[in-house]
Amino acid sequence: MEQRTTPLSHVRNFGIIAHIDAGKTTVSERILFYTGVSHKIGEVHEGDTVMDWMEQERERGITITSAATTAFWTPSREVDKSDPSEKFRFNIIDTPGHIDFTIEVRRSMRVLDGAVVVFDGVAGVEPQSETNWRYADEGEVPRLCFVNKLDRTGANFEYCYKTILDRLTKFAVRMQIPIGEEDKHEGVIDLLALKAYHFEGEKGIDIVETEIPENLKADAKKYHDELVERIVSEDEVAMGDYLEGKEVPIESLKVILRKAVIANKIVPVYCGSALKNKGVQLVLDAVVDYLPSPLEVPPAEGLDPETDETITRHADDSEPFAALAFKLQSDPYVGQLTFFRVYSGSVESGSYVYNATTGTRERVGRILRMHANDREEVKKVYAGEIAAMVGLKDTRTGHTLCSEDHPIILESIVIPESVVSMRIEPKTKADQEKMGMALKRLSDEDPTFRVSSDEETLETIISGMGELHLDIIVDRLKREFKVEANIGRPQVAYKETITKSAEAEGKYVKQSGGRGQYGHCVITVKPLEALVEGAKIAKNVKREQHFEFVNSIKGGVIPNEFIPAVEKGVREALSRGIQAGYQVVDVSVELTFGSSHDVDSSEMAFKMAGSLAFQDATKRAGPVLLEPIMQVEVVTPEQFMGDVTGSLSSKRAQIEGMDDRGQAKAVRAKVPLAEMFGYVTTLRSMTEGRASFTMEFLEYAIVPPNVAKDIIEARR
């Protein structure tokens, strides 16, 4: 049986997060090269990276799906490289930067113990860096910062460092400063050890330690003192020694710094250029030195499904098995992969696991250790590891897998609401069957992608996090599932109702030789009052959610057998609408009088009479259009507040309130759905892409007359 090869203290689970284009994937490719996973460095601009393995990612040069990989690293400092106890196992997840794929960062943050946050050396903190930082804050994930791209024209380490302090955290502290910037960027200075490092040999693989250049000695000394002061402030004994003028040994400083980073009290900042192979190995050393192993993060908490009591699981192979499924991925060769993080215990291929979320047993077919989209089969995985299972049928993102004898439900993953929808239809009959299956697979894989059907038009509606998101989905349908589809503009499902009472008579009389047709009824329509809970409904009333039919016929003026026909005629008229052909809702119809003919009356005649009476009555009952109103929340930096509220007001919004959200402001408003199409793009261009918004359905409300007029004209 396969034994654990790396002690838990030597495991690091971390993610690489950043704004789009800060160089996350380039950093990941260097890590794979230096750790020996790949023997050639892939470049994003050449479209041959290991981590961006999807065709769409390589074409667009962006990361769409988070890729997981396992690598081994022996620190570059003076250690015995042949000693296996010096080898550290890294489980790394490279996440996307684009806001439309924000779920990938969210779910990765949920299962990682640490993160390396990459920044562009020219731009510093960018909007998506702020969002990702917020997710890391929510998960209390310890972080290191890496200011990348210092070889670019306009690169400025001090500016980037300042943006981190101003926009993200007051706890950031320089661990390095660059030797030269832009085309003069040669290496880095370690402020703790006061040593300079250059990166030579093929792909900068050889780290050469040198003396600090004369022109940087004063800066290095100043920042070294700041750093030491900041570290000793976290430890009373060291602080006492420091104030007495004693020198605190570097090893002691590292131990204090490690504790502070894990407690989120200090965020170390490193620098370099991944593209020019400078500084990446020192960041890997920092991951070993300062990011936590699974033993150093708080134990996983969950609920006992039977008693709802809180229970914990420690990172220990001997505890009962507990894991969280955080991602599904379709693999063309092995089928559905379920990525999972083991919090306690161990799991073997061929065994059974219990899905505590659904209450079902699942058989683990195979267990794979992933290297982006390459895979290595393993028999068993242990606490603190990340791997993928093949063969699970009913497990979805956020489900807990555990041992059946010791069930636990771990905290799930928060899934944001979809905000953009569009119609989709297959191009041919052959595509129709394939499309249903493909959409189901894609929505299982990506919880922010939802599929529904419009009851009124029977069209398939797809919803996602933004236009790019849906664009990629349609592209994947075509390439992976060979489904050709047409997509349309999103539509709003309006409804109609009445605002006052009215009475009308419906008469259907036809005489054409032989037997004729005769139906006659009088009805009263009025807006449907909400039924007070517990109130009784009279025997002569048929009540549904949006419609009520009251039979008040006395003395048999309409024979009983024809009354259901009148109701049927009214129902058919409901679905045809009054003004614009939309469904009529919230109407009460009372049948009060009528007459019949012994020979000529028939069900069809009374159905027609009911329909005519309803159309006539509703036209005089103050008909109005109803539209869906969304509850919208926009989170924006303060300087764009005026633009955002002005733009919302122009969209017929009712602004309900504003409050602080960290460094940003949150605006709450009720806005008609019809005004929100394309708002993602409007908001991003208005706020330099720094604002985000969420919306969910709230209620139906009356459309203002001037807007209703345009809608009715368009329908005609």
Annotated binding site for GTP: 18-25, 94-98, 148-151
Angle, CA 29 vertex, CA 24 and CA 35 arms, to 5°: 125
Cα–Cα dist 115/15, whole Å = 5
For the beta carbon of residue 407, count every other beta carbon within 10 angstroms: 20
Residue with tokens 């806005």: 671
Amino acid identity, residue 412?
A: S
Residue with tokens 């880095």: 188
C-alpha to C-alpha distances, 485 to 254, 423, 445, 467, nearest whole angstrom: 58, 10, 20, 16
Q: For residues 479 and 472, is the Cβ–Cβ distance under 8 A?
A: no
C-alpha to C-alpha distances, 647 to 125, 321, 651, 667, nearest whole angstrom: 26, 52, 7, 12
**Token couple for 381:** 């995985």
- Residues annotated within a binding site: 18-25, 94-98, 148-151
C-alpha to C-alpha distances, 555 to 184, 256, 523, nearest whole angstrom: 102, 94, 16
C-alpha to C-alpha distances, 323 to 112, 115, 406, nearest whole angstrom: 13, 20, 12
Helix (H, G, I), strand (E, B) or coil at 55: helix
Cα–Cα dist 176/191, whole Å = 5
**Token couple for 401:** 């897998």
Long-range contacts of 220-226 (CB under 8 A, 24+ apart): 220/177, 220/189, 220/191, 220/194, 221/194, 223/174, 223/177, 223/191, 224/191, 224/192, 224/194, 226/173, 226/174
Q: Where are the beta strands (DSSP E) in 374-516?
A: 374-378, 380-382, 386-390, 400-402, 409-410, 420-426, 450-453, 460-464, 485-487, 495-498, 502-510
Cα–Cα dist 253/242, whole Å = 11
Q: For residues 610 and 592, is the Cβ–Cβ distance under 8 A?
A: no
